[in-house]
Amino acid sequence: MPDIWLDTVTPKISIAINSLLPILENKGYSTLVTAKKQTQTTDMLDALKVPYETVGEYGSTLKEKLAVEQKRTLEFIDLFDRVGFPKVLWTHGDVSAIRTAFGLGIPIVYANDTVFAYAVARLACPLVDFLVAPVCFGKSWSKFGIPKNRIIHYDGLEELAWLKGTKFEEPKFLQELAGKKPVILFRDAEYQAVYCKDVKVDSERLLRDLAKLATVVCLPRYEEEREKLKKIPNVWVSPEPVLTAQLIPYVDLMVGSGGTACRETALCGIPTINFHFWDVQARYLYRKGFPIQIKRNNESIIRAAKKILQNPQNYKMNTQAALGKLESPLPTWTKYIELCLKQKA
């Protein structure tokens, strides 16, 4: 019987789990990782050598999303019949995992930094025992039905779970980028997500315009984009899964609506232009002095990119001291996992 069940449905949470697992296992807890079948999520777990069970998949339409969520719940029950029923769930917001745990009486620690995912929040928040979130969001989630005293804050961002102290081996294929200066890292919005809205940027045109200024390393959102992106001149697409942290040494500028990738680069001192539709965390980093700016249209992004690329070194920062003042979520996640274990005992 596993003590702690960790569920991931995105590459980001796969990376977070990779950092959380050694802490839990060093404390003597047995763990079970489950992952929704999605190329970037499971490829990331494979790249990080994290053992996992594949449970469920994604749907495209609202009808498909509902159907696969219901099916995933039944698959969890089948899995637990085989491996044992866990004592605590740690997750980042997959509704089927939370509903399953609630139905089975398994306490839930809900890590989250996507308050804009309203549909998930409405379904998940009333069911969880604790929600652990960056302080910059305040008590935002209370409007979804979780008592304010169950919303736990830390003064940092989730990305610090792996940017503070975690070492990642650099893939050899990244050496291709060594002679391709300057380099822009680009990450588009998660435009297939139901919560993605209000992005005013024409990202395809932006990518082509950026590729006229520098080599653009593009992290595709969806597998079907890969071949199309490879055909754009001066755009480089990684042949294998790669972490933003592994790309940092090669990058002169980040441009994106990928909230996670933008926060990672800014935290590491890379000048970052963010066009994310939800910028609470970008504003938090800006106030803390990290090199991130928010732009809302193609023209302003290109103007800012040209200015930075004239001399990228003038815009890069040594952020070690600033990072030392921010909290990793790992201790807080661990604390509330252990609290739930005690309550379950």
CATH number, position 319: 3.40.50.2000
Residues 141 and 214 in one domain: no
Asked whether residue 167 is domain-assigned, the answer is no
pLDDT of residue 77: 96
Asked whether residue 161 is domain-assigned, the answer is no
Residues 315 and 193 in one domain: yes
Asked whether residue 166 is domain-assigned, the answer is no
pLDDT of residue 115: 85
Residues 245 and 314 in one domain: yes
pLDDT digit string (tens) for 48-78? 999 999 998 877 788 887 888 889 999 999 9
Residues 97 and 186 in one domain: no
Residues 197 and 76 in one domain: no
Tally of domains in the chain:
2
Residues 11 and 145 in one domain: yes
Residues 184 and 133 in one domain: no
Strand order in the sheet with 108-111: 53-57, 31-37, 4-8, 88-91, 108-111, 130-134, 151-154
pLDDT of residue 39: 66
Torsion of CA 155, 42, 177, 231, to 10 degrees: -120
Q: Can you tell me the distance from the alpha carbon of 78 to that of 82, in angstroms, rounded to the nearest whole number?
A: 7
pLDDT of residue 148: 96
Q: For residue 270, what are the domain limits?
A: 172-324
pLDDT of residue 56: 84
Residues 56 and 145 in one domain: yes
pLDDT of residue 62: 81
Asked whether residue 111 is domain-assigned, the answer is yes
Asked whether residue 285 is domain-assigned, the answer is yes
The mean-pLDDT minimum among 110-114, 118-122, 172-176, 301-305 falls in 172-176
Q: Is 0.95 topped by the overall pTM?
A: no
Per cent of the chain over pLDDT 90 is 66
Residues 103 and 176 in one domain: no
Asked whether residue 234 is domain-assigned, the answer is yes
| C-alpha dihedral sign at 321, 323, 325, 328 | negative
Contact partners, residue 87, CB within 8 Å, separation at least 6: 1, 2, 3, 4, 106, 107, 340, 341, 344
